[in-house]
Structure 1
Amino acid sequence: MASTAIRASSPPPSGPRPIRRLQESVINRIAAGEIIHRPASALKELIENSLDAGATSVKVTVKDGGMKLLQIQDNGCGIRKDDLPILAERFTTSKLSTFSDLKRLTTYGFRGEALASISYVSNLTVVTKTKTDTCAWKACYSDGALTPAKAGTTADPKPCAGNDGTTITVENLFYNTPTRLSALRGSSEEYARIVDVVSKYAIHNPHVSFTCKKLGTPSPDVSTPSSSTTVQAIRLLYGQTLAKELLHVTISSTDKKGANTSNLPDQQADDEDEDDDMGEDSEAWSAEAHFTNASYQAKKMTLLLFINHRLVESSRIKRALEAVYNGILAKGASPFVYLSLQIDPRSVDVNVHPTKKEVHFLNEDAIIERIADVIQQALIGQSQSRVFEYQVKKPLFISYAAISNEKDRLYSYQKVRTSLKDRTLDSMFQVAHPSQRPSVDEVPDGSALPAMTQVPVPKVKEIKESQCFLKSIKALRAGVAKARHNQLGEILAKHTFVGIVDVPRCLSLVQHGTRLYLLNHGALATELFYQLGLRQFGNFSRIRLDPPPDLRTLVALAVDAEEGVAQNGLKPDDVVDRIVGILIGRREMLQEYFSLGISEKGLVETLPMLLRDYTPNLDKLPLFLMRLGPQVDWTAEQPCFDTFLRELAFFYVPEPLLDDPIDEDSDGQTKDTHKATLWQIQHVLFPAMARYLVPPKTLLDRDVVQVADLPELYRVFERC
């Protein structure tokens, strides 16, 4: 046996093997495998051909999940008899003549590979008739060429009876590729995939009648009338329960046109003017979406995505929509979304996938973000409240050994009710947007801090981590990840904001599951802004101060107000000189790494922006600049970066400079500033914590306290 094994093994080649041209039949068989994966993918190509032909009726008949028989009949324009000899050859199409035609493509098919690929792996028969023909013509194909229908006859198309349109019959699919055939699922699952494809095209084309049934069965599994609407098609195919929970929105690129840009900084207005000059018409787009509201919950997300009427998949769009629903639906629940996106053909590359399963287009991130925002606004705007019921099997901060494995019924104290509108403490009060904040903040001595404008930033919500090769920054980032507390991270990531309890003491309430937590949002914000500074190191957006204040004046204000600053026999002026000298001497480094712009004349021109739509309290700017002198370790790289980012985080924390109460006697400017702070904490700070904060365990010591637990409250009520 050993000698046989030795003889069977071939020795390694002594030199390079010769390169040979593959046979045409092998090339075609390989190409067919890339396009025709299963019966449903073959049907998708055939449906698209029917729709390209202008059909208003499409009938599909299936046997054994499409492996024995897959037939599609339409009433489209048909195929000319003269074109039948090359119908199933590769790269024969009526859609393209030059490569530049791809830029203006509005049809489904264009490469001319669908029928060719099907003919390589099945027995293909075509019966077609145009309106001008007196009879229909029947042709059989094998390996891309005409073949006789019966032995002893010619391969030429034969006249036969038939209606206007085309009937394509695919028999014995994958008969010559047994590996592909054996890899398919059972006939029931393959038929379910076929029904899914037909249903999706029926919803997107409500003006076309679709029918799909198994061979020999009297009633179809899919049947939609022509001249219906999208909602009617969804109701027929997915049921009345889903259809009654649908919301509808339309979005387009023109929605943003005509926006008032008079309040924008000069640089931002210039950038928008440049965008207009770049040919905005070629980047025009529109979208229509039908999606379920918060009352509908399914186990699996259903996404029907059409881009320029082409059924495609997009993991980026799917993730964006899932993110929208994550904060609205209960854990484990999923929505139904139908999205039709129309983009100028010049902005779309359709030739990136053999089966046209994916497409690429310009401004993809901005378009996806805009669609997700509109859908989210529609969901939040609905007035219906929801009741989520679930059983808490793994409560946080409780030993898993104490959890019973007994499957008890769902009790009332394990139910959580959340409402979209009435779930916050201040829901009955009007809260101002930060844009209403006064442009000038008065300081105690009567001088004024500068107004602040934001340098334009990309219109995206995601804060990406900057690319940095400094070992010190890598070490600091690694330390943040290592210190993460998973259970606290889950609370913050999936919390429901309840309300702000005390602004001066930075206390807020959040709900997670059946528990209520009191948070020191000041401590959490300090850690958040420190981590955001690490995340964007060397790539900060900027906040422009207009007019730029004098550095020495600001530092002097803080030194005069701070007790005990002058030490070791130094006078206040000496302290100011030292701090200003340190910052001026390192202004290039501060500009490069932190976007803290200080001019040669000592004017503070820009500050680093850590979080979009968040405005730090400029009353704290003098104190921030003053502390950069003694509190930052300027002697070593890593301690310098760490301490500077800590000071920057303290500057950004939404806490008042003075603990003055807000009452009826307060002036209007103070009240507006207070309202703006409340708005930022709820609508900007807490969502940013849920998304970006990697909480360390140290926050559990005193900054996160559980104040109520629904099961415990029930026990108290029972004793009463």
Structure 2
Amino acid sequence: MRKIAVLDQNTIDKIAAGEVVERPASVVKELVENAVDAGSTAITVEIKDGGISFIRVTDNGGGIPKEQVPLAFLRHATSKIERVEDLLQITSLGFRGEALSSISAVSQMEVITKTQEALTGVRYIIEGGREKSLEEIGAPCGTTMLVRNLFFNTPARGKFLKTAMTEAGYVSSYMEQLALSHQDISFKYMVNGQTRLHTSGNSNLKDVIYGIYGRDITRELLPIQFQCTGIAISGFIGKPVIARGNRNFENYYINGRYVKSKLLMKAIEEAYKPYMMQHKYPFVCLHYTIEGESIDVNVHPTKMEVRFQNQSAVYNATYDAISEALGGKELIPEVELEKKERDIKKQKITAPEPFETVYKQQQNIEKSVSYVREDPQLYAPKSVGLKPATGSFTISQVTKPRTQENLPTVPVIKEAPLQEKKEPDVVPKQTPKQMELFEDALLSPKARLRHRIIGQLFDTYWLVEYEDKFYIIDQHAAHEKVLYEKLLKEYANKDVLSQMISPAQVISLNLQEDAIMKANMEVFREFGFEISEFGGREYSIHAVPVDLYGSSVQEFFVEILDSLENEHAKQPLELITGKLATAACKAAVKGNNTLSLKEADQLIDQLLGLDNPYHCPHGRPTIVSMTKYELEKKFKRIV
């Protein structure tokens, strides 16, 4: 057995560097955070070769006094805290005093710094943790940190770095996070001599989001302003139409610190769950202000993790803030056939066909006639699957049957007077817009009186005209949503019916599950279960909820039991929303089923009464829209 011995300082420094300096992005993070803590209003970051060969961070902050420069590179030397009590009220991004020591141990560093009071600046060179020189030099106020040849003295660690392009990508991602978390600082970021990011520092978060994510995402944002005891949340969230296949667009900051938190991640995604399809993730940019003693940032050397003293309060605040922002908005995706022109001066409105003009001149048009025609095939050819039905259909007066001799008398859909339209913003084809809540929204009671149900398409979709838009409603998604809300209401009101099962199913639990089961027996009863102790840690299930079609009794029971173990669940009802969604899906009318006009009208009325009628329980849209403008563009009425 080897003898126990104290490691030499060189080895200690390299081990410490391994905890803090993982890759060039880690170096940039530590240096930029120091620049932010120095009170800088402008910070420039430049990297070459992915940051492996060259990193430069320049700021206009307070600078470092000459006599303190060498001290700054000693381990655990910091100006951020003085005693252990200060850890409870940390307001700076850095505080451990490990960054400069760790970086200098595995690179060649040069520092140029000057304080406001000093006449000259200081140039300090340190390589591999060893001081090379300290001299006076002319310099502007602030600090410039240069890091060259990262891991030059630890080549084994350098072999684990990715390509220069990949490493630069990590740095770029972090710079974007810094810009989003400190919109009051102007950041300039350069890669191999080219500027990749430059923010104004005007404290406008939306401007920063625009500069990083572009116009398509910026115009689909909803503001967040939420406050409760000890917690304030501000920022922006994206409408559900901004859906991504990963969590890269979930950004949240605690007291200006960019962090990763499973707690916040879960709260965000649970709030979006009714509005978004499975395996899709939202865009959020949320800033949290939490009292210092309520969080612990001294968790990991990279300072990317935090602990919350009251996890439930943070979870609930996040969930409520997002739910309130999404609630009450009319979120109908708008389908666009082609990109709109930018310049209205180039737009030309063409005249209608001659036979249309004849009917525009008629003064007394019958505004409501039966939808049933003498020859329904004329108006609803089977080739497009349009089903005639009874009901109100506003068209011009029906005159003679269609023949070659009297072709100009063909009925036409009523059109608004021809007028020049103002050009809307350019909307790229790949990112559909969503409508904001306005006075006469599609599903408002006032608007319902002016809906015109045209018919059913492909035995699945109902077509509705309202104002200058035409809407397509998926009957399965709509019915699924209505049934889901009905089931939720029944469970919330504890009006759940149970059905007996024979034979009863016996469940065996471990010690932890048994404790949870005994503490939450009432929850299972409210959900429609009848359970009795069977001896030891075994339980007998005699009855289950009647509405959960096709669900395995044991699977459903275990799912609730596992969810009860999660202390962050807001209420027991949330534990079974997934199962209720499945039940509603199985019970809802399917596609390729014909509904009557009366049934469709009643379904739309039921949809009208829901808080979120725009998405089924699985996040699929129930309604999409298309503007008259888009159709006219497609038919070259507007060119």
Q: Same fold (TM over 0.5)?
A: yes
| Residue 344 in structure 1 maps to residue 271 in structure 2 | no
Letter paired with 1:293: K
The aligned counterpart of 1:455 is none
Does the 8 Å contact 1:380/1:420 carry over to 2? no
The aligned counterpart of 2:46 is 61
* Alpha-carbon separation, structure 2, partners of 1:81 and 1:230: 37
Q: Residues 50 and 690 of structure 1: is their aligned pair in 2 closer, same or farther, counting only changes over 3 Å?
A: same
Larger relative helix fraction: 1
Give 5+ residue unaligned stretches, structure 1.
1-15, 148-154, 255-283, 390-410, 430-493, 510-519, 541-591, 596-607, 617-623, 655-682, 715-720
Letter paired with 1:346: E
Give 5+ residue unaligned stretches, structure 2.
337-383, 387-433, 438-442, 447-476, 549-569, 596-639
Q: Deviations over 1:443-462 (max 9, x none)?
A: xxxxxxxxxxxxxxxxxxxx
Q: Residues 532 and 22 of structure 1: is their aligned pair in 2 closer, same or farther, counting only changes over 3 Å?
A: same
The alpha-carbon deviation at position 524 of structure 1 amounts to 8.1
Counterpart of 1:241 in 2: which secondary structure? helix
Does the 8 Å contact 2:488/2:580 carry over to 1? no
| Residue 689 in structure 1 maps to residue 576 in structure 2 | yes
Letter paired with 2:67: D
The aligned counterpart of 1:206 is 183
The alpha-carbon deviation at position 594 of structure 1 amounts to 7.8
Residues 28-427 of structure 1 mapped to structure 2, 5 A cutoff: 28-147=13-132, 155=133, 157-217=134-194, 220-254=195-229, 284-301=230-247, 302-386=249-333
Q: Deviations over 1:269-316 (max 9, x none)?
A: xxxxxxxxxxxxxxx222223110112223332122211211111122
My pick for the range that moved more, 683-692 or 206-215, is 683-692
Does the 8 Å contact 2:479/2:589 carry over to 1? no
Q: Residues 221 and 501 of structure 1: is their aligned pair in 2 closer, same or farther, counting only changes over 3 Å?
A: closer
1:709 pairs, out of 590, 593, 605, with 590
Counterpart of 1:498 in 2: which secondary structure? helix
Does the 8 Å contact 2:180/2:209 carry over to 1? yes
Does the 8 Å contact 2:110/2:146 carry over to 1? yes
Does the 8 Å contact 2:508/2:537 carry over to 1? no
* Alpha-carbon separation, structure 1, partners of 2:484 and 2:213: 46
Does the 8 Å contact 1:124/1:171 carry over to 2? yes
The alpha-carbon deviation at position 357 of structure 1 amounts to 1.2
* Alpha-carbon separation, structure 2, partners of 1:20 and 1:383: 69
Q: Deviations over 1:196-237 (max 9, x none)?
A: 1111111221111100112333xx110011224011111111
Counterpart of 1:316 in 2: which secondary structure? helix
Residues 311-710 of structure 1 mapped to structure 2, 5 A cutoff: 311-386=258-333, 497-499=480-482, 522=497, 608-610=522-524, 637=535, 641-642=539-540, 646=543, 688-691=575-578, 708-710=589-591
Q: Deviations over 1:540-571 (max 9, x none)?
A: 7xxxxxxxxxxxxxxxxxxxxxxxxxxxxxxx
TM-score (norm 1): 0.53
The alpha-carbon deviation at position 90 of structure 1 amounts to 0.6
Counterpart of 1:221 in 2: which secondary structure? strand
The aligned counterpart of 1:152 is none
Q: Residues 161 and 384 of structure 1: is their aligned pair in 2 closer, same or farther, counting only changes over 3 Å?
A: same
* Alpha-carbon separation, structure 2, partners of 1:26 and 1:412: 77
Q: Residues 59 and 362 of structure 1: is their aligned pair in 2 closer, same or farther, counting only changes over 3 Å?
A: same
Does the 8 Å contact 1:533/1:610 carry over to 2? no
Q: Residues 103 and 704 of structure 1: is their aligned pair in 2 closer, same or farther, counting only changes over 3 Å?
A: closer
The alpha-carbon deviation at position 117 of structure 1 amounts to 0.6
Counterpart of 1:146 in 2: which secondary structure? strand
Q: Residues 43 and 127 of structure 1: is their aligned pair in 2 closer, same or farther, counting only changes over 3 Å?
A: same
Does the 8 Å contact 1:330/1:388 carry over to 2? no
Counterpart of 1:297 in 2: which secondary structure? coil
Does the 8 Å contact 2:483/2:588 carry over to 1? no
The alpha-carbon deviation at position 428 of structure 1 amounts to 7.0
Does the 8 Å contact 2:295/2:306 carry over to 1? yes
Does the 8 Å contact 1:500/1:508 carry over to 2? no
* Alpha-carbon separation, structure 1, partners of 2:325 and 2:176: 26
* Alpha-carbon separation, structure 1, partners of 2:44 and 2:302: 22
Does the 8 Å contact 1:499/1:508 carry over to 2? no
The alpha-carbon deviation at position 124 of structure 1 amounts to 0.5
The alpha-carbon deviation at position 690 of structure 1 amounts to 3.1
* Alpha-carbon separation, structure 1, partners of 2:267 and 2:231: 18
Q: Residues 287 and 145 of structure 1: is their aligned pair in 2 closer, same or farther, counting only changes over 3 Å?
A: farther
Q: Residues 48 and 531 of structure 1: is their aligned pair in 2 closer, same or farther, counting only changes over 3 Å?
A: farther
* Alpha-carbon separation, structure 1, partners of 2:587 and 2:579: 22
Q: Deviations over 1:477-518 (max 9, x none)?
A: xxxxxxxxxxxxxxxxx9974335999xx9999xxxxxxxxx
Q: Residues 179 and 388 of structure 1: is their aligned pair in 2 closer, same or farther, counting only changes over 3 Å?
A: farther
The alpha-carbon deviation at position 709 of structure 1 amounts to 3.4
How many residues matched? 437
